[in-house]
Amino acid sequence: MLGKKLVTAQKRGETRALCLGLGMVACSMMMYFFIGITIVPFYTKSVWTTETVCKVLKASIKDKVLCPDGKGSEDEDIFLYPCLEVWVNLTASGQEVMLYQTEDTLERNPKCSYVPDKLENSKEVEARIETIASNFKKYHTFSCYYDPGGTQTNVILSRLYPPKGLFFAFLWPTLMFTGGCLIIVLVKISQYVSVLSAWQ
């Protein structure tokens, strides 16, 4: 009687472990799919792939500009902010080009090097842009990214999805997938050993 209870409990434990492993594999596949349709296209579309050194030539704040926040054109999506222009000397080619914060900045407003998030407090936005401008004037040399193919003549300060970020994005689903497969393999080995012991 006790042996039957132990066998039943063992089968239940194996079933739960197998479900856990299959669930981990399924979740990791969903994460792979989500990363593949969100992060990977932005990474592959970016042409600013080569890192170099930029030297600040001019960092000035122009008049306030009116720019839609994102792709929407509704009135509530439009906000006013000072336009910061940063021109740098590209060490790789010696050209004078305009610097943008990220790839998204160029798409949102190609006239300004920095586009802030939509904030209700306009003074906070102005103070942040003035701080960024003063930092550029203080630190003249820094690393930036440019397009080695020459499609884009401007440069960006940082990439939205660098190779390191893409690596960490794939790291967690890979660990989950590996753990799920390991659980499934261990359950199958345990079942095989149990059947072999019962046969002997």
**pLDDT 10s digits, 128-149:** 888 999 888 888 889 999 988 8
**For residue 14, how far is the Cα from the chain centroid?**
38
DSSP letter, residue 120: S
pLDDT at 90: 85
Rounded CA-CA distance 52/94 in Å is 11
Mean pLDDT for the chain? 82
Q: At 103, is the secondary structure helix, strand, or coil?
A: helix
Rounded CA-CA distance 133/48 in Å is 23
% residues pLDDT > 90 (the chain)? 26
pLDDT tens for 114-124 read 988 766 577 88
pLDDT at 185: 92
**For residue 42, how far is the Cα from the chain centroid?**
9
pLDDT tens for 48-95 read 988 889 999 988 888 776 655 444 444 445 667 888 999 999 877 778
